[in-house]
Chains A and B, each alone.
Chain A
Amino acid sequence: QVRLQQWGAGLLKPSETLSLTCAVFGGSFSENYWSWIRQPPGKGLEWIGEVNYSGSTSYKSSLKGRVSISVDTSKNQFSLRLSSVTAADTAVYYCARGRREFGGIIAMALTYYYHMDVWGKGTTVTVSS
């Protein structure tokens, strides 16, 4: 049974850096991708970015330049840093596992897709002066 446990500072001032960490218990850390998603109060879900075992990352285009996701394979953990936060970054932040699915052979290469099947419980982050 895979479980994700997340933690980090819940109250930030504008211009500070948000920092959250998610620990993975159980399952394969190397086969999957690991994502961060956020949800502003009363609104929908927004994907922030992902990282894999080797440290390869992908980010939502509108957040590039402010966001960084890293991995610590020795601890089966991954982390989110979001710089220069404003009130618009106030949200519940979730970590999630992207579980690998075989997508076929495309251009002679094995292709995989990753759907989010296990989520952390969420961390509320408030940005206020």
Chain B
Amino acid sequence: DIQMTQSPSTVSASVGDRVTITCRASESVISWLAWYQQKPGKAPKLLIYKASTLESGVPSRFSGSGSGTEFTLTITSLQPDDFATYYCQQYKSNYSFGQGTKLQIK
């Protein structure tokens, strides 16, 4: 099974800040990587797929990059609604998720 590792586990930031979350795969997933946002008590919401393609309706302050084994999710100009937990997921070989990164208010 492909293992996914996210860092950091928790990040503190303020409204207006830029935040970057990193995801590493135990083997190459090429570009078959997605990012999700999850708020307490809610289902995950797809933000980005194929490493850098923004899902329809997702604000352009979210962006993804990377290929192979290293990927990043960047949120520019943080908004109050962005404070949540973020997960990466590979879908090259079955599916596996990172452990999550909690984005909290500083």
A residues whose Cβ falls under 8 Å from a Cβ of B: 35, 37, 44-47, 50, 58, 60-61, 94, 98, 101, 103, 113-117, 119-122
Contacts and interface: CB of A to CB of B under 8 A. Distances in A.
Contacts of A103: 32
Main secondary structure of the interface of A (DSSP, over half): strand
7 contacts: A47-B95, A61-B1, A98-B91, A113-B91, A113-B92, A115-B46, A115-B49
A4 B57 CA distance: 19
A53 B45 CA distance: 24
Main secondary structure of the interface of B (DSSP, over half): loop
Contacts of A114: 91
A66 B57 CA distance: 38
B44 interface: yes
B99 interface: yes
Contacts, number: 58
Interface residues of B, number: 23
Contact of B97 (A46, A61, A101, A122): A46
A47 B49 contact: no
B91 A117 contact: no
B43 A115 contact: no
B72 interface: no
Nearest to A121: B43
Nearest to A104: B30
A122 B43 CA distance: 7
